[in-house]
Structures are given as structure tokens and as C-alpha cells.
Chains A and B, each alone.
Chain A
Amino acid sequence: MTLERARKLAEALDSRTDRELTELRLDPPHKVLSQIRAYLLRRSEEMKTRNNLIQLLSIHRAGEFAQIDLGPSIDKGATPQHFHFDSGARLSFGLTLREVGRGSQVVSFRYHYTFPDGRPTQFLRFDLNDGPHADPLAEPRSHLHPGIDAMRLPFSVHNPIEILDRIFFVLERTTLGSR
């Protein structure tokens, strides 16, 4: 195994990501917004912490593109605009869609889950870039930051709701259970 071979495998992985993204077709943006809002509402009802989803979640349309946001674009500390969990963790995310025909394609996303203070890992961030990096080994197109901005590990392409599943049912439950 050489660095060259590792890079070739990383390039192949990015190519697979491209194909999977082409095949991943979502509903039109306003329906995706509605689905995310209903999903977050359902999860909120299972929590003690209150979050006003109507205020937190927003969409901006610009031509064929749609930007769905919750919380700040860059996480620089807790804000009232974040989604707050019972564990003390918080979430912000941004999802960019391109309307195609009667549905939409995912252009990019970021889901930033910040652990409560005092945890060994500060955050996890799931990122999908809109294109390949020159060094796909260092920066796969779909990747996870394990609490370090400069470190990126491959992450398979997920439907936006499935990423929320991982955040709510894996990250948050584990965080709550380890208090």
C-alpha cells in the first residue's frame, strides 16, 4: 500500500459519491423543508427542551437553487437560533438543493452537532462539498469532521433526513446516556 494507491482509492470513492448523488432525487425544496420541519417537530415532542421550529428553520429560493438553514452558517458558540438538545448539545445545518424537474438534487450540506461543554470531542460535522477536492484522500467530497476542522473522514451519501436520524438516534442518545 502506497500513498499513490490510497489516493487512487480515494478518487474512486469520490466517483462513487458523484454517481450516488446523481441518483439521489428528493422532493421539490418546499416539500423537503416541510419534511424536515415535521421531522424536527416529531423529535422535539420527545424532548424536554423547547425549540421554536417555525422561527429556527428557514428557506431562501434563488432561481433553481434553494437554501434550507437552521442556526448560524458558522458555529461560533451557542445562539438562540440553534436547535438545542436535552443533553446540552446543539445543532445547526445548511442544505443546498437544486430543483430538477419535479424534484431536487442535493448540491451540498453541512450538519454541525456540538457536544455539551466538557466532552473530549467538541463537535462532529457532516459535510458534503459541491465538487471534488484536488486531494480526495485529505478531503473526500462527503466527509465527517471528528471534532477537528482540518481532519476529514469519508462519510457515505445520505438523504438529509437520514443524517438527522444519526444525529438524533445515535449522537444525541449516546451523549445523553453518557452524562
Chain B
Amino acid sequence: MPEFSTQPLFDIARRLEIRGETGWLAVLAPVTDSTTNLDRLQTELQSILQKPARVIELEPSTFEELREALHQPDDDAVILSSGTGLTQEKWRSLDIMRSALERKGPVILWLATGDVANLTEHAPYIRSFIGASIFLAGPDGGIMTEAERQERLNELSQHFGFTGDEAVRKAQARELPHEPELVEWLVLLGRGDLL
């Protein structure tokens, strides 16, 4: 299997936006947390493209169901999910109906790892829609690192002049003022239960 570049879901959505919100691309689902990442991709598409994004499962959809779903409406973003992978036969039948898959809005194929070879071999026309636009779903940026969390905790401790343990004790004694920075401190300490 060729090497594909790993891209955060946010950047994948941005690529579609820069492209003018049309066209096809394929995303290889990570082996773990595929469902969560599919949900995240849908979220990023909605946020970046500012339009609805739907997920359509390919395996159970009949030809008619798929055609209707892709064209009613035909201008939103659609993620066609292969689930745990499609059979060669399913790829072949999708390739035959390729003209019915064409639409105004963007189409994202959400593929299992084994799908790329089957896509290339048994659905060459759909593969040509995608061209070089195949990416591996990468970790989405934005998760606070442990170093960043510690830096914030130090910053808050220095500013307020007491330790995190004391902040917790004050919160337990209901002596902590209601301020957003103190709320942040407790959440970063994992003590949101004291709010």
C-alpha cells in the first residue's frame, strides 16, 4: 500500500473548502476509535464548510437508496462510510453506478485500511475521482498537552499565591470566590466536581 500523508481532520475539511467545496477525497479511518473520528470529521466539515454534513453507510445502501440520498439534497457534504470494509463485488457495483454518485457537494469516502487496494482494483473510475487526495486521519490538534496543563497550573498558582492543593481545600470549604480563572484551575486539576 502506498504511503499516504497523515492529516488532522480539521485540515482535511480545510482542503475541501480551499478546493471550492466540490469534488472527492478519501480518508483512511484510524484502526482504533473509527466511529469517534468519523463523528469528528462530520463536525469539522460542518464547522469549516458551514453546511450540513451527512454520513451514509455504503454497505447496506441499495443503488436507489444511495442515488436518492446523494441528490436529496445534492449540495451538502456527504461522507460515504465503508464501515469495516466493502467486498470486491460492492466496489464493482459502485463503480458501475459512478455517474449516479456525481453531485454538487463534496463527497468524502471514509475507508477501512483494506479498502484502498479494492478501490484501486475494482473501482478504477471512482479511484480516478479521488486522484491523489487520499489521507490518513491524523490526531486532531487542540488537545492540551500535559506540559501545557502544568504550565497553566503554575501560572494560576503564582497569580493567586496558593497551591493547587490549597485551591481544592478552599473549594471544599466553599471559600473559593466564583471567578472564571478559579473554575479553570479546578477543571485542570480534575476537580470540576467541586464547582
Contacts and interface: CB of A to CB of B under 8 A. Distances in A.
Are A and B co-members of a single complex?
yes
Interface residues of A, number: 39
Interface in A21-61: 30-31, 33-35, 37-38, 41, 54-55, 57-60
B19 interface: no
Interface stretch (B27-35, B69-77, B127-135, B177-185): B177-185
B39 to A, nearest CB: 8
A67 B187 contact: yes
B144 interface: yes
Given A37-B10, A41-B48, A130-B195, A58 B142 contact: yes
A52 to B, nearest CB: 10
B2 interface: no
A107 B193 CA distance: 12
Nearest to A34: B47
A73 B184 contact: yes
Contacts of B193: 63
Interface in B129-185: 141-145, 148-149, 152, 155-156, 159, 177-181, 183-185
A129 to B, nearest CB: 4
A74 B155 contact: yes
B8 interface: yes
B188 interface: yes
A65 B143 contact: no
Contact of A58 (B47, B143, B192): B143
A132 B187 contact: no
A129 B178 contact: yes
B155 A72 contact: yes
Interface of B: 8, 10, 14, 40, 43-44, 46-48, 50, 141-145, 148-149, 152, 155-156, 159, 177-181, 183-185, 187-188, 190, 192-193, 195
- Ranked 9 nearest A-B pairs via Cβ: A65-B192, A38-B47, A54-B141, A131-B178, A129-B178, A108-B180, A58-B144, A60-B144, A110-B180
Given A59-B144, A65-B187, 7 more contacts: A34-B40, A38-B44, A64-B192, A67-B184, A73-B159, A94-B180, A110-B180
